Amino acid sequence: MPTTRVDLHAKVLDDDVVRRAKAAGVDVLVYAPHFTRLPDARERAAAFSDDDLLVVPGREVFTGSWRDRKHVLAVGLDDPVPDFVTLDGAFAAFREQGAAVLAPHPEFLTVSLTAADVERFREDVDAVETYNPKHFPWDDDRASALADAYDIPGFASSYAHRPETVGGVWTEFDADIQSEADLVDALKSGVPRRTYHQRNPRFRARELAEKAHLAYENTWEKVDRLLLSGMEPTHPRHIAYGGEFDDVAVY
């Protein structure tokens, strides 16, 4: 039976990322950068795809406000979905487009779907992340218990904000995934899969570096975006969305 190694969530994409992914035997990489519109992510993904590595664009949508945001990862979108919309508005857009919907880092800090959210959207959530390098062991245990409680398949990802982390984590599907549509189908149909991550000291150090980046991302970088930056390209009232999401925008 053919199998495919997939890293289902990375924030970075360059030549080093591609090299590391290929060296680890990763076949598919989902590229879902923060605050980047889908057409831009899709163009960059295509530029780094080749016969050895398929890069698929994704969108980790920040639902809600900065104070109460919940991240939801969508794969297989045809049209852009902005950040800072209601959770219901985001799920309605994903549902309409037939995207695969993943719950990254569930119940992690204040930026994730809760168990109540997963229960509410049980029919829409196709997979729950049970491992990423920013998790602590108890986060992995809680996420795995959540996936089991609602009988939702799990997945692991590098959740890489640093190129060095790519290649250390993957999910192996019992399927031959050759396209974005194949990946969406595998996720939505619940294809059997197994999760893997490296356990050597070098990767442990990279996990620590990712955790340190998380602290930066939620302090100084957040202050910059809140106080110093202009309107984000993924703001729901950006001209690019033509008012389509005004009724579910939280800003």
Residue keyed to tokens 């045809």: 78
- Tell me the C-alpha to C-alpha distance, in Å, between residue 240 and each of 79, 85, 158: 11, 15, 30
Q: Does residue 221 register a pLDDT over 60?
A: no
Q: Which of 51-60, 75-84, 223-232 has the lowest mean pLDDT?
A: 223-232
Count of alpha carbons within 13 angstroms of residue 73, beta-carbon side: 28
Question: In this structure, what CATH number is given to the domain that contains residue 11?
Answer: 3.20.20.140
- pLDDT at 213 (0 to 100): 72
- pLDDT at 35 (0 to 100): 93
Percent of the chain with pLDDT over 90: 82
Q: Which of 12-21, 23-32, 220-229 has the lowest mean pLDDT?
A: 220-229
Measured distance CA(251)–CA(3) in Å, rounded = 43
Q: Are 71 and 111 in contact (CB under 8 A)?
A: yes
Position 205 confidence tier, pLDDT thresholds 50, 70, 90:
confident
- pLDDT at 140 (0 to 100): 95
Section 235-249 average pLDDT: 96
Q: Are 63 and 69 in contact (CB under 8 A)?
A: yes
Q: Does residue 94 register a pLDDT over 60?
A: yes
Q: Which of 96-100, 107-111, 121-125, 130-134 has the lowest mean pLDDT?
A: 107-111
Backbone φ and ψ of 164, nearest 5°: -65, -20
Section 156-173 average pLDDT: 97
- pLDDT at 47 (0 to 100): 98
Report the domain count for the chain: 1
Section 160-178 average pLDDT: 97
Q: Does residue 117 register a pLDDT over 70?
A: yes
- Tell me the C-alpha to C-alpha distance, in Å, between residue 97 and each of 11, 74, 120, 162, 165: 23, 10, 20, 30, 31
Measured distance CA(124)–CA(101) in Å, rounded = 7
Measured distance CA(9)–CA(163) in Å, rounded = 12
Give the residue from 65, 92, 64 showing the smallest Cα distance to 79.
92
Q: Which domain holds residue 91?
A: 4-248
Question: What's the whole-model pTM score?
Answer: 0.92
- pLDDT at 226 (0 to 100): 47
Residue 109 φ/ψ region, left for φ over 0, alpha for ψ in the -120 to 50 degree band, beta for the rest:
left
- Tell me the average pLDDT of the chain: 92
Measured distance CA(104)–CA(111) in Å, rounded = 9
- pLDDT at 228 (0 to 100): 46
Measured distance CA(57)–CA(41) in Å, rounded = 6
- Residue 4: Cβ within 10 Å count: 22
Section 149-153 average pLDDT: 98
Q: Does residue 229 register a pLDDT over 70?
A: no
